Amino acid sequence: MTEEHMPVVVTITKVIEETPTIKTFVFDELFNFRPGQFCMVWVPGVDEIPMAFSAANAITVMKVGDATAALFTLKEGDKIGIRGPFGNGFFPTGKVLAIGGGIGVTPLFTLAASGEVDTFILGARTAEELVFADELANVTDLKIATDDGTRGYHGFVTGILDQLDATEYDTICVCGPEMMMKGILDRLVAKGIETRGQFSLHRYMKCGVGVCGSCCMDHEGLRVCRDGPVFTGDIIKNSEFAHHHRGPSGRKE
């Protein structure tokens, strides 16, 4: 096994409550990663799950299942395991637009923090659920959309995208709920610029290194952990993307 395949036991040094359902866990080890790459986070006695890095020494987590619920009980001084980084990251060129929804902002935040994003569209259900908005405003041209209109544009991120000329951007990096990303991909396809889109996908993963096949996508058998998690729009436009995915049992959902 190579070094990144082995878990590194890290100690949590700080827990930041970003929103009522999202926390950032800072730990005492630095990892060399490319924005968009992920790690496998081991919660002792519970499970191991994929997470995007939100910094070289941090992950930002939404409480959505057993493993994340267990993470939310941890505090400073507790330990978790980190394997990675894995997969490919974003590879933008030229003028860059980033679009993030919900916890999908995490890998895009690191891209913006590295100075690689010209315009950033950030979306959430409500103002209370916006993550990294203040930090993003300091490093990029930030545009905000909330479903309930409590901050910024009243509606979805696609509404702001419709107000822009997407063809002015050489690269469009996207991460968020799959149906949100599908709405963006449809717009890029309509303009004939789907190759400019780079979409970070989430699938159920067990190994994280392309061996088990649990994250394979129809129809080409692409492994999200190894061939992704970032794919260009032309690769996924005719795939299972936004149609179905597979759960722990391997059944389509």
- Give the residue ranges of the annotated binding site for [2Fe-2S] cluster: 207, 212, 215, 225
Residues 15-31 pLDDT 10s: 999 999 999 999 999 99
- Indicate if the pLDDT at residue 4 is higher than 60: no
Strands (E), the chain: 8-19, 22-27, 38-43, 47-55, 58-62, 79-86, 96-101, 119-124, 141-146, 153-154, 171-175, 197-200, 216-217, 222-223, 230-232
Residues 115-165 pLDDT 10s: 999 999 999 999 999 999 999 999 999 999 999 999 999 999 999 999 999
pLDDT of residue 221: 79
Predicted TM-score (pTM) of this structure: 0.93
Confidence band of 215 (pLDDT split at 50, 70, 90): confident
Q: How many other CB atoms sit within 10 Å of the CB of residue 51?
A: 22
Give whole-number Cα distances, 47 to 30, 205, 214, in Å: 22, 11, 15
**Where do the domains of the chain lie, and which CATH numbers do they carry?**
3-86 (2.40.30.10), 96-236 (3.40.50.80)
pLDDT of residue 224: 86
Select from 132, 1, 120 the least CA-distant residue to 58.
132
Residue with tokens 């799950």: 49
- Give the residue ranges of the annotated binding site: 207, 212, 215, 225
